[in-house]
């Protein structure tokens, strides 16, 4: 390093076999074959573990919509949105092992397989987001040494958004088309846009995701829908 006058170096996790593969199978493709290594890593892992594309994509859409609208509250930008995006696509990978505790299996698959292009810190955060997409209070656990100051808050806020998006897609039929958010100093008001009344999604979101959202954004969560029940009961 002294002779080369450099102060840092990057060690590739790939080796000769990857180079041989690229030369044999990708030599005819226009360079760069993979324009975005990070995006390719996420999609490649999702496909390897047979992710449910329609469900994962809609969870990602709802999570992104929530993230973007709540930006004035959380103050994060494109780097944090990319982590949320990756976690949304990968959150259910663990079902390939077992549905029971699949959130834990998703974390294990991500950590053990790795995500080329992402730093150890980013990989840990993505894995933790998948770990807490269903339940539990997010904590860094054994990854604390990889995280930076403020990442504990980041983890809670992104996990809250991902969890809410997951339960707004609980029926796995994209019944909730979109979501809008407005807030005061005391409340966070979400309106679900849907053609049919999202009874299951409302119930699941309030039961499983509301408390973490309230912790993350320090406001009482109110969730309503533009659609109304087909049958309304009066007194």
- pLDDT of 232 reads 57
How far is Cα 195 from Cα 177, in angstroms, rounded to an integer?
8
* pTM metric for this prediction: 0.91
Per-residue pLDDT of the chain (235 residues; tens, 9 = 90+): 999 999 998 888 788 998 899 889 988 998 888 889 999 999 999 999 999 999 999 999 999 999 999 999 999 999 999 999 999 999 999 999 999 999 999 999 999 999 999 999 999 999 999 999 999 999 998 899 999 999 999 999 999 999 999 999 999 999 999 999 999 999 999 999 999 999 999 999 999 999 999 999 999 999 999 998 876 545 4
Sequence-separated (6 or more) residues with CB below 8 Å from residue 192: 168, 176, 178, 179, 198, 201, 202, 223, 224, 225, 226, 227
- pLDDT of 34 reads 87
Burial class (CB in 10 A: 0-12, 13-18, 19+), 184: exposed
CATH level 2 (architecture), domain 34-225: Orthogonal Bundle (1.10)
How far is Cα 70 from Cα 224, in angstroms, rounded to an integer?
17
Which tokens hold the place of 184? 């005061």
The terminus-to-terminus CA distance of the chain in angstroms comes to 80
Task: Tell me the HSE value of 216 on the side-chain side, using a 13 A CA sphere.
Answer: 29
- pLDDT of 235 reads 43
How far is Cα 165 from Cα 56, in angstroms, rounded to an integer?
10
């Amino acid at each position: 390093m002294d002779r080369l006058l450099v102060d840092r170096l990057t060690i590739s996790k790939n080796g000769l076999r990857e180079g041989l593969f690229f030369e044999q199978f990708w030599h005819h493709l226009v360079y760069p074959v993979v324009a975005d290594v990070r995006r390719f890593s996420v999609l490649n892992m999702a496909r390897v573990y047979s992710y449910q594309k329609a469900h994962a994509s809609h969870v990602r859409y709802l999570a992104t919509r929530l993230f973007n609208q709540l930006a004035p509250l959380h103050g994060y930008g494109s780097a944090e949105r990319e982590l949320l995006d990756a976690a949304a696509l990968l959150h259910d990978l663990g079902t390939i092992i077992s549905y029971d505790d699949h959130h834990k299996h998703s974390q294990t698959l991500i950590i053990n397989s790795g995500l080329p292009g992402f730093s150890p810190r980013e990989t840990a955060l993505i894995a933790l987001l998948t770990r807490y997409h269903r339940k539990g209070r997010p904590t860094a656990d054994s990854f604390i040494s990889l995280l930076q100051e403020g990442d504990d808050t980041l983890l809670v806020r992104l996990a809250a958004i991902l969890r809410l998006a997951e339960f707004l897609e609980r029926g796995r039929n994209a019944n909730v088309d979109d979501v809008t958010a407005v807030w005061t100093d005391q409340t966070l008001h979400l309106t679900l846009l849907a053609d049919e009344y999202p009874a299951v999604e409302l119930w699941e979101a309030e039961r499983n995701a509301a408390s973490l959202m309230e912790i993350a954004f320090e406001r009482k969560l109110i969730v309503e829908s533009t659609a109304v029940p087909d049958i309304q009961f009066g007194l």
